[in-house]
Structure 1
């Protein structure tokens, strides 16, 4: 990890059984400016509630994340457990308890097994301290951001990481991010955990503004299955350890940093959708020439989230009728008799009418690709919007039919 001043490790604590990384920790050498975006659900897990409270101060120094148990809908005991586990990290590293950000993902309604944290946190500490003897004795600890990415996984099939860099005041600063998510994904914001670290020096107010912009253009524009979680969390920490000057709002350097942050978020968002539960295709739904951006987004979201459209993608069936039907209930204003629909460069519909069997056969070939774009032109204005989605496969049903077992 090139980002200066951060360390990360992960351990098999027993939350998910003896053979799975399930507890991860990221620690900054110094308190960092911090910003976060959380689930919009009215039902919020204990770590989300606690994390929101702690971020009010605009600082954080550690992120403790577990998979397997969401610690959601667990009442006062869930909040107590979230605090207890954070306190263990604070005690181990000599930092303020309020600077520990908790995050959990997994089954809703089950209490955390605090004993797993009592056993796991000392192992994480040993790894971050570079204590070879302790690490060997622990036998199950791994270091680095990718290890944390793997510890966060639930139904994910691959860890998700991304990194970028840019110069501020002539100094190279780095950004690195990890994310998890494969199911229960629907804006706003997508059901997921994401942690982004940078060694740039950024005021927490500006950090919050930039993170909101990046999330809105990425994680708020993806869908896998239309479900929103209780645990969605995106955290951004900036510890200033690169030694670059403080980022100035409105400067060219701030715009460049924003671009790198946007790219990391979009990269991770694409990885999440590509790894959607049972997914075989990554699809961009692009709505163009809408009356305004809100209508463009509503139309793209409705198409991207349609179960009938998504099953047609899986079946490689160029059934454009499902797309225009979804468009019709999106709330966007348009004249159906001027709409066009294309799969990549194959235009299937022009002026609201299909162009025949030959074109449909060409569109079917496009649907056999692992990645393609559906473009819908409304011809009602100049606003555009993209959403990322995937297909619905038989495996999605199988995965979620017995998720708890």
Structure 2
């Protein structure tokens, strides 16, 4: 029990830190020219970093100590935050500077994300894995409720948004200490020492997994549906800020409140996932979740004020969060623990590669055609895809 408590403390600290630096980069980039494509560029740079990590790092999670990998990444991230803070206060902030900082931060953050996910997947199994993920999601949602509001307050209080990075650094350090203590207790698989040969093999781990995935038609069909869903959700999530700010003229503080409303949905999702879902219900849950997400996006064109925005954001963010969590659990049921790192990294790389293209295209389409039309199209696509999920969700059974 105490292991879970310390783990959840680490989750809280890491989530709050991530909220602070994500909010800082996104708002700063958008307000350079008030164009949605700036936010899309920054997020796309981050996706590129995450793709590189997934392609090269997955095999290391199967071979080496997750505690060592995680600690190195967290220490690097703490120093990087301090460096970015100094850098942003010494130069004039530009889109290029924000993009470089986002690339480096996301590069390291994705290492910790994959390590964290694989640690849970290999330590817990079956229904226990689902219940623990529900608990993690609930705690993360609680942190995300307060995070955006506090980030908005900090942004209006500090003369420079970069000062929020100092607060993010403190929470990164807390998370590092918590994970460093409990990681050895979560590692049940044997690890090997570093060597030139083992590192070379680990680097090829994700590539080998990709070759095996693309050799199986059932996996290809399932991944196409999954990647399409993830790409649309990524575009819609990214463009929520410019939609409310540019089209509906909602203030930054109100946007922070809307993000917290979405986080309340995450809390509800965590409770539902931990108490209602079972391994057999995951596939059905994905179909329903994608349909609700599509319906909520289609209803954005009926925006009639701040309260309607609160309801729509709650629906969309809840379904979006539930999809990604249930989809990861669904895939994990088909992957052996011994290759969980490389296989999940391969799936993650495919997902983020498509999302990268979608985010870039979505940002430019938003600026050209307007947000309401784009969200109607995205919503309709998700509703169609939900039917495909229903037809294909047992394709690997």
Using structure 2 for the length normalisation, give the TM-score: 0.25
Q: Which one has a larger percent strand, Structure 1 or Structure 2?
A: 1
Q: Which one has a larger percent helix, Structure 1 or Structure 2?
A: 2
Structure with higher Rg: it is 1
Using structure 1 for the length normalisation, give the TM-score: 0.25
